[in-house]
Amino acid sequence: MILTVYSSRRVYTLNQQRLIASVVEPTSSLVFVNNNIELDLTWSQLRAVHPVHIQYLKNLAVEASFSVSLVCNGQLWGLLACHNMTAKYLSFETRQLCEELSQITSLHMSGLLRAEIDFQRYHYKVEFAEIRGAMQSSIDAFKAIKSQISEIKTLLNADGIWHHIDGEDYYHGQVPDELSLSLLGNWLAQFDRHQVMSRHTVVEDFKQNKALVKFASGLLFLPLNQQNFIVLFRREEIETVNWAGKPQSHNEQDMSTSALTPRNSFLTWAEVMGGQAKPWNLIDIEMAEDIRCELVRLIEKNQLEIIALKDPLTGIANRLMFERKLKSALQQALEANQQFAIYMIDLDRFKPVNDTYGHAVGDELLIQVTQRLQALLRCEDMVARLGGDEFAVIQLGISNKGDIERIAKLMVEEVKRPFLIEGKNIEIGASIGITICPLDAISQTELLLGADLALYEVKKSGRNGFKHFEPSMLLEKTNDESIRNQLLRAFENKELEMVYQPIIDSRSKKIVGLEAFTRWQHPVLGFIAAQEFVSAIDKNHLNPEFVDWMLMTTFSDYQQWQRQGIASIPVSINLRSDQFLSLDIENKCRALSQQYQVATTWLRIDLDEPTLAIDANRSEIKINALAQHGILCNIDHFGQGLLSLKQLTKLKVNSLKIDSRLLMDDKKNIKTQALATILKAIGEVMNVPVVATRVEKQEVMAKAKSMGINLVQGFAIIEPMSVADVSAYMTK
């Protein structure tokens, strides 16, 4: 006979002094039953049973209970429970058989679940690949994400989606009203902005908000950064659940029982469940995190591209953005049979302004010119700064030449009107060359060439005006040297020269470094600064030749100083990021070192931080490789890019160069001085000096010295000198 004994702590099943025990708490190895007969439980299997469960079995008059668990992938999937109204003994063999069957069933179900999960994961990745491709094809990350929100909603099997990005809200599907969304947005602000958050039951605080209960019982929150996020919604699903065992509140006879009130019967009862939605499964969460990471990457890439595509001084498009816009405008014009015009603009008499008043005034002049040009154009048109004092305009949707001439005339008049800068009336002019697509050409190269030729004609005829391209200009070009040939001739005939601006230690007044700049003594146009012809070098694909000339000239000049007995001093040349990354600077320097019989440890390379940050990984490899030969890099325009401190600490740099305007209080930005202090502190942490560049006034130099920035460079100290002038200065 089997005897089952229940207590609040143990359940015993006895049969001929054999004992199977389930205990709630640990027990000793010996127990006493049947008049203090000692039984050894050392080898028994002990299972925890909660007192409420024991009471539940007693309430139902159950004297034997047997259960088998089904565990799938390490988690309890289900439980098979058997009850017997009388005590019942199961042999060891029967229990082992049931255990084996449960393990086999669990393994089989685990395999089925894994196969289903793998299929869902594959389906998600295929669908998301299409969404990713569509977003990557756009140059505007925010517009790209907006265009795909309905697809993201469908992919994650949501009923609605709320997309808050760039300060605007977009919706698709079934979503709560805007007031309810505002409450929800405030609640979401408390969560981590670096991971997905999900819920399938309504938030306790929102149970009285009908809109949130109805449309937002299920939430999937994808934060993109501190301001931007995506929320997916699942509607409330009203569910009727049938439970086994009538609850205490439904049985009047048991109202006086104790606090532990397990069920008293197997009778079923129904409960209506609300405020809940279909749960987000494991694959939903995985895919949401993949989507979040992709969107974050897309936004960060877009921010870097914006920096790469904008002129850092004026904030308008640079040459790269201009070329992209021109390509798009050309395709649109040919497909829709429309016309657009290109204006190539050079400022007249700009260089004397720089030489007379300094770069700070010149920069402000460029900014004001930009503002005047933009005021003449529509929002769909583009004004770009191609480099130096060279601008370009794309005017879309023109109907006749009269409109073009009117705009060109206004541009000339606006630039001719005096500029008031630092109390001075500054007067310049503008020369403009114009081409029209498709009347003059239907290719990007020919359109730009035509505008350049028309611009050249304006300069030859006295400047300060505009001309349309004419075919005769192209015929004249075939009889004259092309710009490319002129540049190649300049390399060979030594029309280019290098000048050097010293970097001074304000404490000792000694030169601690030189920065090299290129000038072109053109046989017709006269003196031209590098910033004015560097765009022609780009357009004619002469960057390799130009960099070779700069390196060779600098090595030659340095050799001359060495032979004159001048002490070794660091000399830096300026390279753009594309020149630095695309050319083999290391081997070029090694060859020149052998040719001129000088070391390379004096050479420095100035790299612009905003462009350096675009491809920080490749830059790091090349910078550190050059450092092995003693060639160190200076980070120019430091503090104006997105180069992270982590990336910066990986670079073997020589100095950090900051614009001296950061040292002075600026009415537009009162925090500039604090920023300069931070940048100086970064230099101290990295154990590299900070150089204040563009020091155009003595008060700026005094300010730098007061802040502990002792290395300065600019017109207020010493103007750029020829190689002979450097020799004379260093030997006096």
CB 663 within 8 A of CB 360: no
Interval 670-698: pLDDT, tens: 566 677 778 778 888 788 899 988 887 88
The answer to whether the Cα torsion of 536, 538, 543, 545 is positive or negative is: negative
The distance from CA 190 to its chain's CA centroid, rounded to whole angstroms, is: 23
Q: What six digits make up the tokens of 698?
A: 């003595």
- Both tokens of residue 604? 């420095």
Dihedral sign, Cα of residue 557, residue 559, residue 561, residue 567: positive
- What tokens were used for 1? 């006979």
Which amino acid does the sequence have at 684? E
pLDDT at 40 over 80: no
Query: In sequence order, what are the residues at sequence separation of 6 or more whose Cβ sits closer than 8 angstroms to the Cβ of residue 463?
Result: 348, 429, 431
DSSP states of 211-260 = HHHHH-SEEEEEE-SSS-EEEEEE----EEEEEES--GGG-GGGTTS-S-
Question: Using CA of residue 129, residue 134, residue 140, residue 142, what is the dihedral sign?
Answer: negative
| Three-state secondary-structure class, residue 27 | coil
CA dihedral 161, 164, 170, 176 (to 10 degrees): 50
SS3 state at 527:
strand
Instruction: Tell whether the model's pLDDT for residue 369 goes beyond 80.
Output: yes
C-alpha to C-alpha distances, 225 to 182, 235, 296, 338, nearest whole angstrom: 18, 26, 7, 41
Q: Is there a contact between 420 and 371 (Cβ–Cβ < 8 Å)?
A: no
Query: Most confidently modeled of 9-13, 200-204, 491-495?
Result: 200-204
Closest CA to 134 of 124, 143, 123: 143
Name the 3-class secondary structure at 176: coil
Q: What is the DSSP letter of 172?
A: E
Is the pLDDT at 11 greater than 50? The verdict is no
Residue 667 has pLDDT above 70, yes or no: no
Share of the chain above pLDDT 90, in %: 26
On the question of pLDDT at 59 being above 70, the answer is yes
**Cα radius of gyration rounded to whole Å, the chain:** 39
Q: Cα 577 vs. chain centroid, distance in angstroms?
A: 19
Provide the pLDDT for residue 139.
62
Query: Tell me: the pLDDT tens digits for 265-284?
Result: 667 777 788 889 999 988 88
| Rounded CA separation 91/97 (Å) | 10
Residue 259: its pLDDT value, please? 53
Q: How confident is the model at residue 46 (pLDDT cuts 50, 70, 90)?
A: low
pTM for the predicted model, two decimal places: 0.46
d(CA 137, CA 130): 11
Averaged pLDDT for residues 90-104: 87
Over the range 194-232, which residues count as b (16 or more CB within 10 Å of their CB) and which as e?
eebbbbbbbbeebeebebbbbbbbbbbbbbbeeebbbbb
Q: Provide the sign of the torsion angle of the four alpha carbons 17, 18, 20, 25, taken in this order.
A: positive
Q: Given phi > 0 = left and psi -120 to 50 = alpha, else beta, which region is 57? A: alpha
285-291 average pLDDT score: 89
Q: What's the pLDDT score for residue 8?
A: 32
| DSSP 8-state symbol, 317 | B
Q: What is the pLDDT of residues 108-131, one digit of tens each?
A: 888 888 888 888 888 788 888 888
How confident is residue 578, by pLDDT bands cut at 50, 70 and 90? confident
CB 579 within 8 Å of CB 612? no
pLDDT single digits (tens) 599-618: 999 999 998 876 676 677 78
> What does the pLDDT read at residue 19?
36
Report the pLDDT averaged over residues 143-152: 84
Look at 365 and 703; give whichever has higher pLDDT: 365
- Counted residue by residue, the chain has a size of 732
Contact 531/387 with Cβ under 8 angstroms?
Answer: yes
Locus of tokens 């910033």: 531
- Buried-exposed string 71-101: b where 16+ CB fall within 10 A, e elsewhere: bbeeeeeeeeeeeeeeebbbeeeeeeebeee
Closest CA to 276 of 241, 234, 243, 242: 234
pLDDT of residue 32: 52
Which residue in 191, 169, 167 sits closest to 180, CA to CA?
Answer: 169
Distance CA 358, CA 597 (A): 38
Q: How many other CB atoms are there within 10 angstroms of residue 421's CB atom?
A: 18
580 vs 619: CA distance, rounded Å? 8
| 61: phi then psi, degrees, rounded to nearest 5 | 60, 35
Q: Which run of H or E residues covers position 604?
A: strand 603-608
- Residues 627 and 618: their CA atoms lie apart, in Å, by 14
pLDDT at 623 over 80: yes
The pLDDT value given to residue 332: 87
Identify whether the C-beta of residue 662 lies closer than 8 Å to the C-beta of residue 671.
no
